[in-house]
Amino acid sequence: MLVLEGLLPLLLPRTWRESFKRMIALKDGQLRFIGLVSVFAGVVLILLSS
């Protein structure tokens, strides 16, 4: 997981910084929805890899 999380700041630091700034401006509900979608996508990827 850390490898995947580190790819964007390693390869595209400016894009990563701008994305982070946009995420700070989001409301709590929007961040929760992004978190829910991320968790769902992770579970799907785990199930597909088995």
Domain that holds residue 37: 2-49
The pLDDT, as a whole number, for residue 5 is 85
The pLDDT, as a whole number, for residue 49 is 92
Position 3 pLDDT exceeds 90: no
Tell me how far apart the terminal alpha carbons of the chain are, to the nearest angstrom: 17
Tally of residues, the chain: 50
| 16: Cβ contacts below 8 Å, ≥ 6 apart | 8, 9
pLDDT one-digit tens code per residue, 6-48? 998 999 999 999 998 999 999 999 999 999 999 999 899 999 9
Asked if residue 8 lies in contact with residue 15, where contact means CB atoms within 8 angstroms, the answer is yes
Position 1 pLDDT exceeds 80: no
For 19, the token pair is 């994305």
The pLDDT, as a whole number, for residue 4 is 80
Which residue has tokens 């700070």?
Answer: 24
Q: How many domains does the chain have?
A: 1
